Amino acid sequence: MEEEESEEEEDELPMYQEHYDALFSMDFVETKYPHDDTMRALGIFDDVELVPKNMCLAKFFSYRLESYKELTCEFLASMRFHKYRQLDRAELDQGWGWITFLARGERKAVTFRQLEILFGFTYGREPIGISRRMSYKGVWATIADGVYSSSRSKVAQIRSPVLRYVHKALANTFYARKATGTINEGEVKLLDMGIKPIISRTKDGKKIRGDRIHAGNLMPLIAQLLSYKTTAYSTRFQTGRKLSVGGVITPILCAAGVHLEKRRSTPAGWMDIKFCKTNLFIEHKELDGRFQFKFTHPLAGPSKLLLPNPELTTVLGAFVWRWFHVIRTSGSEDTTILVGLDPPARPASFQLDRAAFPGVKAILHMEVMEIVGKGPLRAPITLALEMEFIGVGWISLSNDPMASKA
């Protein structure tokens, strides 16, 4: 079997020592993983399990392993990827390439197919270019506040506690980095994969098509791993640098047969309640024993939702927009009213005739474009719903106007 040579000779690793030293000089910290008890306490466990499955990342998130500083730095400084020759690929069952790296000075190799099986990725084809078919702006407008910008958009703009927690998991593992407050295009693409089987259209009514030439998750992961050494070297004189990707590399080391000494490892970290409060996912102060989730609604502005509240935050079965639609009362800055429909529908727009206060009825005019389970309507319908506020965070319908008009 013939193999393509890399641009440099196999026994050469340009700037290996410089890259290793730059990586080793960083603060080596634990890789943080989703925390099951925390997700249950927030009422989002089942939903957070579902979205990574849709991303083909369920197995990737399942490892939650310790990390090893010396082996991680050696891996990142020496990692290269290679491709098999075109004529041989049809006969291969190992993917279209492989990676090499050093472990305690010994050269190791793992094929792309081994990595895809290891992490549960779909078998990807060789990338042929960057897809321009996916609308980041449309996806972002559906799940978050404001216009998407890869350099400025904040994860705090995401309105769903489920998707915001999933993003934090991505930013601490797949795209492990120190600053996780912003969201890059790769993370938006993965979130798009996560919600595509659940909802059919973006906020502006366009059908979600995703990235039509998506080549799997392996190449984005390899590209991310390759970037660490150059980033570490270019920022080597800066202070406060952290390296947290070690836990992602540990299963690759195991697949290559590298012996690991756990007594010299850095234990796994967790996205627990303390993490959520520190990273502004929830407020530090609880209210009546429940957690306060902060988000910004395009109509109501800064708002809060008490967690757990699975009826309003769930994405299981159908991605119902109930928790998106928030009308703030003028009586208290902390009071929110969340509109829900039964049967669930996907409204395009809505407005309230008058402010709703506890015990006061109000008329909600809502333009509905799709009924969950029945599909898109031929033409949007406008409903005038009589509603009554019956408790913190919920409005009930006085009748069922959806059944007759759908």
Contact 242, 231 (CB under 8 A): no
Query: With contact defined as beta carbons under 8 Å apart, do 143 and 195 qualify?
Result: yes
HSE toward the beta carbon, residue 208, CA cutoff 13 A: 23
Interstrand relation of 32-34 and 269-271 (parallel, antiparallel or unpaired): parallel
Q: What is the pLDDT of residue 149?
A: 84
Domain parsing of the chain, residue ranges: 15-274
Show the tokens assigned to 304.
């809060």
Pairs from 285-292 (Cβ < 8 Å, separation ≥ 24): 287/334, 291/41, 291/42
Q: How far apart are CA 287 and CA 147, in angstroms?
A: 32
Cβ neighbours, 10 Å, residue 12: 9
Neighbours of 36 (CB within 10 A): 14
Of 132, 223, 208, the C-alpha closest to 174 is 223
pLDDT (0 to 100) of residue 230: 97
d(CA 302, CA 327): 11
Say which residue the tokens 């669930």 belong to. Answer: 344
**What pLDDT is stored for residue 156 in this prediction?**
87
| SS3 state at 88 | helix
- Per-residue pLDDT tens listing for the chain (406 residues): 445 444 444 457 889 999 999 999 999 999 999 999 999 999 999 999 999 999 999 999 999 999 999 999 999 999 999 988 765 655 566 678 999 999 999 999 999 999 999 999 987 555 444 444 456 777 888 788 788 887 788 888 898 899 999 999 999 999 999 989 999 999 999 998 888 877 756 665 566 665 544 558 999 999 999 999 999 999 999 999 999 999 999 999 999 999 999 989 999 999 999 999 999 899 999 988 899 998 876 656 677 888 998 877 877 643 333 333 333 333 333 333 344 444 444 444 445 444 444 444 555 555 555 554 555 666 655 555 554 443 333 333 333 333 333 3
Short-list 317, 266, 62, 322, CA closest to 173:
62
- Judge whether 225 and 250 are in contact, CB under 8 Å: no
Task: Judge if pTM exceeds 0.85.
Answer: no
Distance (Å, whole) CA 335 – CA 320: 22
Write the single-letter amino acid at 3. E
What pLDDT is stored for residue 402 in this prediction? Answer: 37
Rounded CA separation 366/218 (Å): 43
Instruction: Take residue 3 and report the two structure tokens written for it.
Output: 């193999």
Name the DSSP letter for residue 106. Answer: E
Beta strand 326-328 with 336-338 is antiparallel
Q: What is the pLDDT of residue 147?
A: 84
Token pair of 192, please?
Answer: 């798009």
Residue 195's nearest CA partner among 208, 212, 211 is: 208
